[in-house]
Chain A
Amino acid sequence: MNKFSTLMAGAALTLGLSLGAQAATLKMAYDADPVSLDPHEQLSGGTLQLSHMVFDPLVRWNKELGFDPRLAESWERIDDKTVRFKLRRGVKFHSGNELTAEDVRWTYDRLVTSPDFKGIFAAFEGVKVVDDYTFDLVTKEPYPLVLHSATYIFPMDSKFYTGTDEKGEPKDRLVKHGDSYASSHLSGTGPYVVKSREQGVKVEFERFDGYWDTTSPGNVDEIVLTPIKEAPTRVAALLSGDVDFIAPVPPTDHKRIESSSNVDLVTMPGTRVITFQMNQERRPEFKDVRVRQAIVHAINNEGIVKKIMRGFATPAAQQGPEGYAGYKAELKPRYDLAKAKQLMKEAGYEDGFSITMMAPNNRYVNDDKIAQAAASMLAKINIKVDLKTMPKAQYWPEFDARAADMMMIGWHADTEDSANFSEFLTLCPNAESGAGQYNSGNYCNPKVDELVKAAGSETDPAKRAAMLQEVEQILYDDAAFVPLHWQNLAWAANKKVKVEPILNVMNFPYLGDLVIEE
């Protein structure tokens, strides 16, 4: 049987190849390699990029921020709290086991034990298996983001991960630090299998010959992923032809890459917003909405984007980017120095005051330069800024301690949804519920809390979008924080590597579908 299926898969592959282009090898360089082969160990871009190579999600995001069926073939909402999914039939794991609904349940149950991922599934009750190819995702309350969350469910091979390893530890053990079976062995349904891996040096992938998606145009049968930490070296490796595909590409090198005749640069507006928060508990001045408005009006974020980011960012006036439910197109950046001065005068701070500011210097693109620019812009409305920048490793403890009056924070919504920004950045801080965990400004408006909460159980997309847009409007009027910009994304590849179709704003290149032309 097994032999037969391999034969069939082989035949299908040959057929695919004869229709498509020749099989090819892709050499690519990211700034880092995956931390672990365990998809539940850490919620990070690197882990998800790997997951899309060796596993498949139930559904995945497409370029239009909609959902494409992957392992789930179809789905329908059967009641307020339940969405029923039909699983694709005949899907094989790398081990040869067949995917069933039981694997989905098993994966879900493991996923919610992960400290990193459990937050995304807080609203869920669990997975209910109906039959081998049907299961229900059940939520505690009516929940609008079932499909959003389903993009995080990459079914694992439950039989493969059951039992104990040679050390006598259970194979499915989830360890954040230290060795585990799952961190170095894997069996998924994805287009690639890991051939060899030397952490920090390279990972070699081979196309899975039993891959279910025979309609995929992808013709890459081997991938060598090398982490190259230094951006200039990464760019040089691409330009010299040592690698075919790199990400990220620093803004300073865009011109050089665009002017090169055999590489392509692909950029997209990203979804990570960069902001400053104004701590109202540390500074009574910040309690005055006029002062906060003055600060927002004094910081020329379009100028920062133009000069410091070299155009490689989208100026922001709200939390969520375009395409998200709560995005309100009317909200525009509001740099106006005269108005800022006027507001300071009205608030009675014409002569200004002194504040402290902190920002990381290796977390976001040009973070320290942005902070320096903001500090000098604030000097123009007589706010003297004592700025301290530091490496991210030292910054986060300071951020947790709310150690400065203004602090920089960037945020990307794991759910690709507007409400997530508010949940972490602008809800009233509440240590018990975890709301506003990153709200170092201590901004608190019950109306915002109420709307975000209501949006959390509103399953009508239009009504929900209206609520979230109202949230953005309130935050804008309240000058709850200083919006700077959304960081753009950039990738560069050799011209024969057709990366554009497989890239998306989530920064999960769908390498299974990558075509390399000869």
Chain B
Amino acid sequence: MIAFVVRRLFQAVIVMFVISLLSFSIQDNLGDPLRELVGQSVSEEERQALRDELGLNDPFLTQYLRFVGNALEGDLGTSYFFKEPALDVILNKLPATLELVFGATLIIILLSVPLGVYSAINPRSWFSKTVMGMSIVGISIPVFLTAIMAIYLFSVELNWLPSYGRGETVPVFGSWETGFLTKDGLLHLLLPCASLASIMLPLFIRLIRSEMMEVLESEYVKYAWAKGLSPLRIWFLHALKNTMLPVITVGGVQIGTMVAYTILTETVFQWPGMGFLFLEAVNRVDTPLIVAYLIVVGAIFVITNTLVDLIYGLVNPTVKLAGKKS
């Protein structure tokens, strides 16, 4: 167990090193940050002077080594736009994104499990067919469109829900402000979370349904029926547990996709999270912020995948963790 975590930590460091090298080497192709820092009529000379001041004219290796040196001391550079350490800017925006992802995950779990299980048990009912039909539609509509349509329906036409932002938030601890504890905050969460969930939800319903149908055909379930166990016990205790194994695997991989989709969702809803921040940073060629974001997201990937592997072991004790002596 400990060996496993240590090995993963080591991998994480390598991953982040590679990410930093990659993002650092593409930054020249992202555009000229000076253009975003100064007005259009500023002379080329002035811009060169600023470039020198920022150290952008140094050779690549010098710049990169300087970056690594600072990074080892916990300094990932200063955002050109926010004028604050890039890491601080991102960590400030992290809670908003995590709450969005958490809300969406909650919706996915609460809906996909009952819907998936129901349509596996009653594959021929009209309700199952409707769910399956809807999931095809859901999976085919881009999140951008879902979000815009939701805004027009629920905010403009019906006027039930707010159209943008996080609404009222209350501090929990440190700089973490949550929208989950106020009515206004919850109302603001609803549309963005539902939009973000709309991409994953159909996938999980279908996944749970097909896995569940397979498990229901297996020998041990037939045996349980023969034993005369109650249907609820068979479906939700025996069958569902084995259904969840592949779901967790896919879920772990999909967290990454989810982070990618927060960029779109946050942009549409003007959600002050780090996905929106990233898109803006790319537009503004705020390279320190871009590099820092990629490293933080890299870290999130490694952490969630490690957690998934650990949970996997808990759900199915026969699974061996890589690195664990057998």
Task: Give the complex CA separation of A230 and B82 in angstroms.
Answer: 20
CB distance from A20 to the nearest CB of B (A): 30
Q: Which of A357-416 contact B (CB under 8 A)?
A: 362, 391-397, 400, 411, 414
Q: Is the CB of B31 within 8 A of A177?
A: no
Q: Which of B162-180 contact A (CB under 8 A)?
A: 162-165
Q: Is the CB of B283 within 8 A of A362?
A: yes
Residue of A nearest to B46 (CB): A115
Task: Give the complex CA separation of A286 and B140 in angstroms.
Answer: 49
Q: Is the CB of B42 within 8 A of A242?
A: no
Given known A-B contacts A119-B43, A226-B270, A240 and B163 have beta carbons under 8 A apart? yes
The stretch among B65-73, B128-136, B152-160 that forms the contact with chain A is: B152-160
Residue of B nearest to A202 (CB): B165
- Residues on A with beta carbons closer than 8 Å to the beta carbon of B272: 198, 200-201
Q: Is the CB of A177 within 8 A of B82?
A: no
Task: Give the complex CA separation of A397 and B33 in angstroms.
Answer: 10
Most chain A C-beta atoms within 10 Å of own C-beta, residue among B84, B165, B267: B165
Partner among A183, A240, A411 whose Cβ is within 8 Å of the Cβ of B159: A240
- Residues on B with beta carbons closer than 8 Å to the beta carbon of A240: 151, 155-156, 159, 162-163
Q: Is the CB of A42 within 8 A of B38?
A: yes
Q: Which of B43-58 contact A (CB under 8 A)?
A: 43-47, 49-50, 54
Does any Cβ of A come within 8 Å of B309's Cβ?
A: no
Given known A-B contacts A176-B37, A178-B78, A242 and B280 have beta carbons under 8 A apart? no
Does any Cβ of B come within 8 Å of A281's Cβ?
A: no
- Residues on B with beta carbons closer than 8 Å to the beta carbon of A397: 31-32, 35
Task: Give the complex CA separation of A115 and B159 in angstroms.
Answer: 47
Does any Cβ of B come within 8 Å of A261's Cβ?
A: no
Task: Give the complex CA separation of A176 and B80 in angstroms.
Answer: 8
- Residues on A with beta carbons closer than 8 Å to the beta carbon of B40: 411, 438
Does any Cβ of A come within 8 Å of B83's Cβ?
A: yes
Q: Which of A36-83 contact B (CB under 8 A)?
A: 36, 42-44
Does any Cβ of A come within 8 Å of B284's Cβ?
A: yes
Q: Is the CB of B43 within 8 A of A434?
A: yes
- Residues on B with beta carbons closer than 8 Å to the beta carbon of A392: 31, 35
Residue of A nearest to B284 (CB): A393
Does any Cβ of B come within 8 Å of A155's Cβ?
A: no
Residue of B nearest to A414 (CB): B41
- Residues on A with beta carbons closer than 8 Å to the beta carbon of B84: 179
Q: Is the CB of A393 within 8 A of B159?
A: no
CB distance from B149 to the nearest CB of A (A): 10
Does any Cβ of B come within 8 Å of A229's Cβ?
A: yes
Partner among A119, A180, A226 whose Cβ is within 8 Å of the Cβ of B42: A119
Given known A-B contacts A236-B152, A397-B31, A242 and B163 have beta carbons under 8 A apart? yes
Q: Is the CB of A236 within 8 A of B29?
A: no
Does any Cβ of A come within 8 Å of B285's Cβ?
A: yes
Residue of B nearest to A180 (CB): B83
CB distance from B34 to the nearest CB of A (A): 9
Q: Which of A216-241 contact B (CB under 8 A)?
A: 226-230, 232-233, 236-237, 239-241
Q: Which of B15-45 contact A (CB under 8 A)?
A: 29-32, 35-45
- Residues on A with beta carbons closer than 8 Å to the beta carbon of B163: 233, 236-237, 240, 242
Does any Cβ of A come within 8 Å of B148's Cβ?
A: yes
Task: Give the complex CA separation of A447 and B277 in angstroms.
Answer: 49
Q: Which of A178-218 contact B (CB under 8 A)?
A: 178-180, 183, 198-201
CB distance from B273 to the nearest CB of A (A): 10
Does any Cβ of B come within 8 Å of A459's Cβ?
A: no
CB distance from B193 to the nearest CB of A (A): 16
Q: How many A-B residue pairs have CB under 8 A?
A: 131
- Residues on A with beta carbons closer than 8 Å to the beta carbon of B31: 391-397
Q: How many A residues are at the interface, by size bracket?
A: 35 or more
Does any Cβ of A come within 8 Å of B120's Cβ?
A: no
CB distance from B219 to the nearest CB of A (A): 54
CB distance from A166 to the nearest CB of B (A): 16
Task: Give the complex CA separation of A438 and B42 in angstroms.
Answer: 11
Partner among B35, B156, B282 whose Cβ is within 8 Å of the Cβ of A239: B156
Q: Is the CB of A177 within 8 A of B54?
A: yes
Residue of A nearest to B54 (CB): A177
Q: Is the CB of A177 within 8 A of B44?
A: no
Residue of A nearest to B28 (CB): A397
Does any Cβ of A come within 8 Å of B235's Cβ?
A: no
Most chain A C-beta atoms within 10 Å of own C-beta, residue among B159, B163, B283: B163
Does any Cβ of A come within 8 Å of B269's Cβ?
A: yes
CB distance from A224 to the nearest CB of B (A): 11
Q: Is the CB of A43 within 8 A of B41?
A: yes
- Residues on A with beta carbons closer than 8 Å to the beta carbon of B49: 115
Partner among B29, B82, B152, B159 whose Cβ is within 8 Å of the Cβ of A199: B82
Task: Give the complex CA separation of A392 and B35 in angstroms.
Answer: 9
Q: Is the CB of B37 within 8 A of A42?
A: yes
Does any Cβ of B come within 8 Å of A112's Cβ?
A: no
Does any Cβ of B come within 8 Å of A437's Cβ?
A: yes
Q: Is the CB of B164 within 8 A of A237?
A: yes
Does any Cβ of B come within 8 Å of A424's Cβ?
A: yes
Does any Cβ of B come within 8 Å of A35's Cβ?
A: yes
- Residues on B with beta carbons closer than 8 Å to the beta carbon of A411: 40
CB distance from B164 to the nearest CB of A (A): 5
Q: Is the CB of B50 within 8 A of A176?
A: yes
Does any Cβ of B come within 8 Å of A116's Cβ?
A: yes
CB distance from A467 to the nearest CB of B (A): 22
CB distance from A373 to the nearest CB of B (A): 24
Does any Cβ of A come within 8 Å of B268's Cβ?
A: yes
Partner among B29, B39, B151 whose Cβ is within 8 Å of the Cβ of A233: B151
Task: Give the complex CA separation of A236 and B270 in angstroms.
Answer: 12
Does any Cβ of A come within 8 Å of B301's Cβ?
A: no
Residue of B nearest to A242 (CB): B163
Task: Give the complex CA separation of A236 and B152 in angstroms.
Answer: 7
Does any Cβ of A come within 8 Å of B64's Cβ?
A: no
- Residues on B with beta carbons closer than 8 Å to the beta carbon of A362: 283
Does any Cβ of A come within 8 Å of B81's Cβ?
A: yes
- Residues on B with beta carbons closer than 8 Å to the beta carbon of A237: 155, 163-164
Q: Is the CB of B83 within 8 A of A115?
A: no
Task: Give the complex CA separation of A198 and B44 in angstroms.
Answer: 32
CB distance from B270 to the nearest CB of A (A): 5
Q: Which of A438-477 contact B (CB under 8 A)?
A: 438
CB distance from B171 to the nearest CB of A (A): 13
- Residues on B with beta carbons closer than 8 Å to the beta carbon of A431: 44
Partner among B36, B47, B162, B270 whose Cβ is within 8 Å of the Cβ of A230: B270
- Residues on A with beta carbons closer than 8 Å to the beta carbon of B41: 43, 116, 119, 414, 424, 437
A to B CB contacts below 8 Å, 6 in the list: A227-B270, A239-B155, A242-B162, A393-B36, A434-B45, A438-B40
Given known contacts A116-B41, A396-B32, what 9 new A-B pairs fall within 8 Å (CB)? Answer: A175-B83, A179-B83, A180-B83, A229-B276, A236-B152, A240-B156, A240-B159, A437-B41, A437-B43
Per CB-CB distance, the 6 closest pairs between chain A and chain B, nearest first, are: A393-B31, A43-B39, A240-B155, A115-B46, A116-B39, A396-B35
